[in-house]
Amino acid sequence: MSLTKLLLRRAASRSRSRSSLSFATRAFSSTADEEPEPVSFEDISTASYRIRDGIQQTQCEYSPLLSQRMGVELFLKKDHRQMTGSFKERGARNALLQLTEEEKKNGVVAASAGNHAQALAYHGKLLGIPVTCVMPKVAPLTKIARCRELGARVVLHGEHILEARDKAEDFVRDENMVYINGFDRPEIIAGAGTMGIEILHQVPDVDAIIVPVGGGGLIAGVALAVKTLAPKVQVIGVEPEYCSSFSEALKAGKPVNMPTQPTLADGLAVPCVGANAFEIARNYVDKVVTVSERSIALSVLRLVEMEKVVVEGGGASSLAALIDNKLPELKGKRVVLPLTGGNIDTPVLGRVIDRGLAADGRLVRFVATVSDRPGGIAQLTCFLRDFGVSVKDIYHERAWVHASISHVAVKCVVETQSSEHALELKQRLQEQGYPLIWESFAGGQAPAVEL
C-alpha cells in the first residue's frame, strides 16, 4: 500500500471516530474545560493531498516595493485569490471531505458572517453536500447574497455571531446536521495548516512567517506544519489591539472570553480563541504582537497602491505588524506575509482607504479662522488650490466661534501629496496669518472633534 493511501485510510479512521463524539465536542468549539482534540503533522500532510483538486496553490510572490519600504525581504502569500476570497476554503473542503455518508446526506450548518460561510457554501455545492449558513442580521448584504448564490440555505438570526450560533444549535438538534466551527475543529486546523507546507516549498529559506490571528485555527495549523519541517523558522502571530484574545489566553494559560471593540480587522474579532487551536499554537508560536487600527488601515492602503491588490483588514494585519515597527528583529530577514482574505465591502473599502490616507499624513483636517467679509473664504480656497492640495470637504461655522463677530471658522479636510507636503501646508497657512487648529492622524490617534 502506498504512503498516500495509508495516510488517507488513517485519516478516515480518525474521522469515523470523531463522528461518535458527544454533541458538545462534535458540534461546537471546545472550551477550556474539555480535553482538546489533537492535530498532527500527518493530519496536515494528508489534508494537503486530500484537498489538492479543489484548492488553488496560491502564489507567494516577492514584493520589491514593500521590501524596500519595510527593510525586509518580503514575500506575499496571496490566499485571498482562492475562489471565495479567503484561506477558509482549505479547512472547509478538508472538513467536508471527511464526513460520513450519513452526515453528508443530513448536511452541515455553520454560524458565520463572512468567509467561513462562503467557503462552506462553495465547496458544499461542489461536493453535493447541503449547507446551512446562520448569519447575524447585521451581516454584509453582499456576503448574504453570495452564500445564497452558491446554493446555501441562509438563515438570518440575532444581532451578533453568538446569537447566530445558538440558532445553529437548533439545526444540529432538530435536523441532525453537523456543525462545522470555522477555526477550532481539527479538520479545519489541519486544512489551514496546508498553507504552511506550501510556503516552505515556495520560499524554502524563509526566516519568519507573520500570521493573522482570530480564532487561532490558521496560526495553529501553519505553526505545526512549519515547526515540524523547519524548526528554525519563526512563526509570529498578529492580532488587532481591539481584540487580542490570543494574547490574553497566553497570559491566562487557557482560552478566556474578553470584550471586543469594533475593528477594521473584523474577521479577527473573535472574543475567545479556540481551545484546540490554542493548545497547538501555544507550543509552536514564537511571538504574538498586537497592531493599531491606524496601521491596519495603512496596510490596506499600501497593498492597494504598491501591490494593486484589495485585501480586507484582517488579511492585511500581518503587514501592519511591520508598519507598526513591532518586529524590529526582522530587519534584513526573509519574511512571508499571508494575505488571508480579500472580502471587503466597497463602501467599507472607501472608508478604510480614507483612514489609511489620514494615517499616512496625506489626508488632514484643520480649522482656519478667516474674515467673514465677501471673498474671505474664497481667498482661503484659492490659496489651497495654488498650493496643490485637493479639498475633500469644507464647512464654515459662524455661531460657535471664539473669534470676533467679523470672523468665521472654516473647517477643511484636504488631501495632500505626502506627509511632508501636509506639514509644509500647515507652515504656509500660519505664515499667511490664519489662526489655525491642525489635526493629523499620522503617527497616532487624532483627537475627535465635531465638524
Residues in the chain: 451
Distance CA 121, CA 137 (A): 18
Q: Answer yes or no: do 235 and 303 share one domain.
A: yes
User: Which of 179, 213, 248 finishes a domain?
Assistant: 179
Residue 23 grid cell: 454533541
pLDDT score for 34: 58
Confirm whether 446 is domain-assigned: no
Expressed as residue numbers, the domain containing 247 is: 57-86+191-357
Confidence band, pLDDT 50/70/90 cuts, at residue 443: low
pLDDT in tens, 38-85: 999 999 999 999 999 999 999 999 999 999 999 999 999 999 999 999
Average pLDDT estimate for 322-327: 97
C-beta separation of 441 from 294 below 8 A? yes
What is the grid cell recorded at 345? 465591502
The domain tally of the chain equals 3
Same domain, yes or no: 296 and 435? no
Lowest mean pLDDT among 96-100, 159-163, 323-327, 339-343: 159-163
pLDDT of 330 higher than 50: yes
Whether residues 286 and 425 share a domain: the answer is no
What CA–CA distance (Å, rounded) separates 321 from 247?
Answer: 15
* Residue where a domain terminates, one of 357, 386, 407: 357
The pLDDT tens digits for 14-32 are 444 443 333 333 444 444 4
Return the pLDDT at 22: 34
Last residue of a domain, one of 324, 357, 390: 357
Q: What's the one-letter identity of residue 94? A: N
**CATH number, domain with residue 122:** 3.40.50.1100
Q: Please report where in the chains the cell 528554525 appears, as a residue.
A: 232
Question: Containing H/E element for 154?
Answer: strand 153-156
| 78 falls within a domain | yes
The whole-angstrom separation of Cα 30 and Cα 279 is 11
Cell output for 106: 443530513
Q: Bigger pLDDT: 15 or 199?
A: 199
- Distance between CA atoms of residues 276 and 30, nearest Å: 7
Q: Are residues 294 and 209 in the same domain?
A: yes
Looking at residue 19, its pLDDT comes to: 39
Let me know whether 174 and 309 are in one domain: no
For residues 172 and 300, membership in a common domain is answered with no
Geometric angle at alpha carbon 251, from 279 and 160, rounded to 5°:
75
pTM above 0.85, yes or no: yes
Predicted local confidence at residue 160, as pLDDT: 78
Q: What DSSP letter does each residue of 221-251 carry, written as one string?
A: HHHHHHHHH-TTSEEEEEEETT--HHHHHHH
Task: Indicate the pLDDT class of residue 204, thresholds 50, 70 and 90.
Answer: very high
Classified as helix, coil or strand, 208 is strand
What is the residue-averaged pLDDT of the chain?
89
For 92, list phi and psi in degrees, rounded to 5: -60, -50
Q: Tell me what pLDDT residue 406 has.
A: 79
Q: Quick one: pLDDT band at residue 262, thresholds 50, 70, 90?
A: confident
Res 442: pLDDT: 65
Specify if 207 maps to a domain.
yes
**What is the CA angle 362-437-294, rounded to 5?**
40
Candidate ranges 17-26, 97-106, 338-347; pick with highest mean pLDDT: 97-106
- Residue 337: phi, psi to the nearest 5? -115, 115
Q: Do 102 and 236 fall into the same domain?
A: no
